[in-house]
Structure 1
């Protein structure tokens, strides 16, 4: 990629950085991406995919596999806190996860494909909505417009602070955890705070749930993690005892099946506690992420590309505890999600002073382009 093309991608990234939109609201971001791709003349454009998503299709003249390369459209509800010239102009919203950089990388593939069409098969460049809340991939997969382009193999990357810049972080099998947000609602009965015995406060039961949920993984044979992230007891009304309580927790495991067992145990445990105190109980589940699983064949493409480019490769043994909704594609097709180191001193993802390092763009494009060469050009 020459300097002029790279500058074009960096400028595009910085524009996207200034106008972040939250999950499911990425209409203006999608418009900017659509406008940027006009010069790259895809064979087909799919709009409003799974909501605000976009796909750009490049087809070869010969039959072959369909490959998908995915990035994410959405930003975060985090106020940016540093003095870069391209700082977010949208109050309380930011691209502090690096999705702006991921979009620039996939745009770079469109730039290259416009100059050199695939010889065989079909390349799908997917700009996916709502990754941060775990709903975008499922919405895309459920959209009939996507069924025409179901991939045989899919690829994605995520920048990873804490690793050397441009180092490829890769693993076969489980790569990122399955997770789900659980909301536990306890209902008792209010009373005057001068006569607490006349009501049925959920306070003690809530306290037991808080402790018991985080201790639950101790009884599991495989890795699991329960993190209580929020709790609320009644209202700040000093003349009234609480009648309701809410506990919110995130449940994680490296496998979908283990996460589901953990959820069942958590429900049973909280139900037993509620019964002990004569409370009503109900559950809600939000932000469900499937485990991201790297298929051996897809892994080979990524590993070979890194070798050919002479990049440093780190083969990790233990999956990451964070979740990525690319895992929903893992359930449907052969996938590879790999990490691209963004610097050992880089602020962590979701920190208010995070900014995607532009030096990763060329490496990301090169990695994916090598994979495209193998899939769509070589005999």
Structure 2
């Protein structure tokens, strides 16, 4: 099986079309429709739409007994204004594909073209176009959808493009590959006052200043090793936008990050204890809310071995690399299957992920496809 020159022309054009029409998490209606339309000519054996919200599962079935192998890509973009001058730059203000999910989706579409021409010799291939990866809700919603039982995999694989690595070079390691993380929103309530008489109110401003420093000081470690703990203040607001009112309300948002889920439990307990003390000292009421839950992602030994064999067979240079501080909700698929993710180099001198001028390198489409195809054929024949 192979991609023709015409395939590559069409896949590249389609990837760029997706790049120009980004949709953020849980809004990927048009993107999902594009996937279904693009793969309709491949005559899949089953299509499940609206999976976990806006997800699409496309199935190619051999009709013979065997494992189910799932390949996952992400449909969503980011709430970032694109600053590039590319002809295919985002047409949607304030939204853009600055994480390369458009490229991941094109790689899965290329698998669909090939399995549309020739089914696997046994078992099934499921192309899972997942919604809402960026806010951590998508994989959980897909797994919770009762229709997922129809395509429940024995193996699950995914990839992520990675600027900083040489183009086409791969990082693949067994064990933890992405950190656990979650967003903690701290709401502090006191009492407003006239700005000329702040002593008649209860201001949360001193507590905000203390929390911003104290939470950040919980961090330790700089790489995703076993001792990594990272608390990053991402947003804060105090009072009203007025000079005549001493504040009575404030919020502090902090992202908590650890190498494993168990360590996350310890960090959240420490952060909550700190908030409770600071709020109490300032005679403030407080509320805590958690958002953007990501479990840590861990590659299973068997799934990692399969990918490593595929890389060797395809002559793709690879090394173990490091666990990444970034989070990734693909780890949830490990609860239902043997799963592994690898990181595919996007080049050493390109914009970083989530930068406002990033663009997925189209040269990665055939490389990612070859690796996934080899893994699928090694498992299913």
TM, length-normalised to structure 2: 0.96
Per-residue CA distance 1:102-121 (angstroms, 9 max, x = gap): 01000000011011111111
Residue number in structure 1 paired with 2:31: 29
Cα distance in 2, alignment partners of residues 136 and 60 from structure 1: 28
Q: CA deviation at 1:218?
A: 4.7
Corresponding residue to 1:354 among 351, 358, 373: 358
Residue number in structure 2 paired with 1:52: 54
Residue number in structure 2 paired with 1:344: 348
Corresponding residue to 2:339 among 335, 341, 351: 335
Cα distance in 2, alignment partners of residues 275 and 91 from structure 1: 43
Cα distance in 1, alignment partners of residues 195 and 87 from structure 2: 55
Corresponding residue to 1:259 among 246, 261, 264: 264
Per-residue CA distance 1:145-192 (angstroms, 9 max, x = gap): 111211111000000000000111111100011100000011111112
Question: Does 2:229 match 1:224?
Answer: yes
Q: CA deviation at 1:100?
A: 0.7
Output the aligned Cα RMSD. 1.4
Residue number in structure 1 paired with 2:116: 114
Say whether the 8 Å CA contact 1:222–1:258 is kept in structure 2: no
Structure 2: which 5+ runs fail to align?
A: none
Q: CA deviation at 1:61?
A: 2.8
Corresponding residue to 2:104 among 102, 105, 108: 102
Say whether the 8 Å CA contact 2:155–2:303 is kept in structure 1: yes
Corresponding residue to 1:322 among 316, 323, 326: 326
In structure 2, relative to structure 1, the CA distance for the partners of 1:208 and 1:25 (3 Å cut) is same
Equivalent position SS for 1:63: coil
Q: Superposition pairs for residues 62-73 of structure 1, below 5 Å?
A: 62-73=64-75
Cα distance in 1, alignment partners of residues 172 and 76 from structure 2: 24
Residue number in structure 2 paired with 1:309: 314
Residue number in structure 2 paired with 1:167: 169
Cα distance in 1, alignment partners of residues 149 and 213 from structure 2: 45
Say whether the 8 Å CA contact 2:176–2:323 is kept in structure 1: yes
Residue number in structure 1 paired with 2:79: 77
Cα distance in 1, alignment partners of residues 357 and 260 from structure 2: 32
TM, length-normalised to structure 1: 0.97
Equivalent position SS for 2:194: coil
Structure 1: which 5+ runs fail to align?
A: none
Cα distance in 2, alignment partners of residues 48 and 367 from structure 1: 28
Residue number in structure 2 paired with 1:373: 377
Equivalent position SS for 1:230: strand
For these two proteins, the number of residue pairs brought into alignment is: 376
Say whether the 8 Å CA contact 2:181–2:293 is kept in structure 1: yes
In structure 2, relative to structure 1, the CA distance for the partners of 1:121 and 1:221 (3 Å cut) is closer
Residue number in structure 2 paired with 1:39: 41
Residue number in structure 2 paired with 1:125: 127
